[in-house]
């Protein structure tokens, strides 16, 4: 069973529909017991980092999610679900995250006339060895982004993909069973579905 974590943030339904279209068994839930029993977790999200962490604490979901990740179960973070993995974000004056990956979340620079938030299609470039979620996805492919902040890993080995938008940032991170994308696979048409299918197959 894949559990999509409902913490009141983001586009849960579109992620669930994409996974259901791939004929996987999926449940959208905000219950700690469902997270504890999940085979795989997906944490999507669109919104503010501090508000997201408050919601996760209020719903008593922080420790079940962290425990699931420590147990080795596959995790896919999407957008805010990537950023929350890090130690802290500068958004909203600063807020602590899960601290499961070393690094910090920073605001995209408003450089060279580029608008923030970064919205729309952009290109990915591989930064490290082949990742199982990228099987069948060519280097240089385009994925759909909507974000103003990005995760900046302390350990470059955690960076799987990079993208340029005013700065070069990590558009995908990976460590052991933890995978996360800054882009939205559920909005990225055929290649996004391929990435989700690869996650389901883990």
Closest residue by Cα to residue 47 from 146, 119, 185 = 146
Which member of 118, 131, 147, 184 is catalytic? 184
Full domain range(s) for residue 8 = 2-200
Q: What is the mean pLDDT of residues 28-50?
A: 95
When divided into structural domains, the chain yields a total of 1
Residue 118, phi-psi category: left (phi > 0), alpha (psi -120 to 50), beta (remainder): beta
Q: Is the pLDDT of residue 51 over 80?
A: yes
CATH number of the domain bearing residue 162: 3.40.50.880
Average pLDDT, the chain: 95
Which member of 79, 91, 131, 147 is catalytic? 79
- Gap between the Cα atoms of 78 and 54, Å rounded: 18
Q: Is the pLDDT of residue 139 over 80?
A: yes
Is there a catalytic annotation at residue 186? yes
pLDDT range class, residue 168, cuts 50, 70, 90: very high
CB atoms inside a 10 Å sphere around CB 97: 23
Share of the chain above pLDDT 70, in %: 100
Residue 94 pLDDT: 87
pTM of the model: 0.96
Is there a catalytic annotation at residue 23? no
Peptide bond into 9 cis (omega under 30): no
């Amino acid at each position: 069973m894949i559990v999509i974590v409902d913490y009141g943030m983001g586009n849960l339904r579109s992620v669930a529909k994409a996974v259901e279209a791939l004929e996987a068994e999926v449940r959208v839930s905000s219950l700690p017991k469902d997270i504890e029993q999940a085979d795989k977790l997906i944490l999507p999200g669109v919104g503010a980092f501090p508000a997201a962490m408050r919601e996760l604490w209020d719903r008593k979901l922080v420790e079940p999610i962290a425990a699931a990740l420590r147990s080795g179960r596959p995790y896919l973070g999407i957008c805010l679900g990537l950023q929350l993995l890090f130690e802290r974000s500068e958004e909203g004056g600063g807020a602590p995250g899960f601290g499961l990956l070393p690094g910090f979340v920073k605001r995209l620079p408003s450089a060279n006339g580029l608008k923030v938030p970064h919205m729309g299609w952009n290109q990915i470039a591989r930064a490290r060895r082949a990742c199982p979620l990228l099987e069948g996805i060519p280097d240089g492919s385009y994925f759909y982004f909507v974000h103003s902040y990005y995760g900046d890993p302390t350990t470059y080995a955690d960076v799987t993909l990079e993208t340029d938008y005013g700065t070069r940032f990590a558009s995908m991170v990976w460590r052991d069973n933890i995978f996360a994308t800054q882009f939205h696979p559920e909005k990225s048409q055929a290649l996004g579905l391929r990435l989700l299918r690869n996650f389901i197959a883990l």
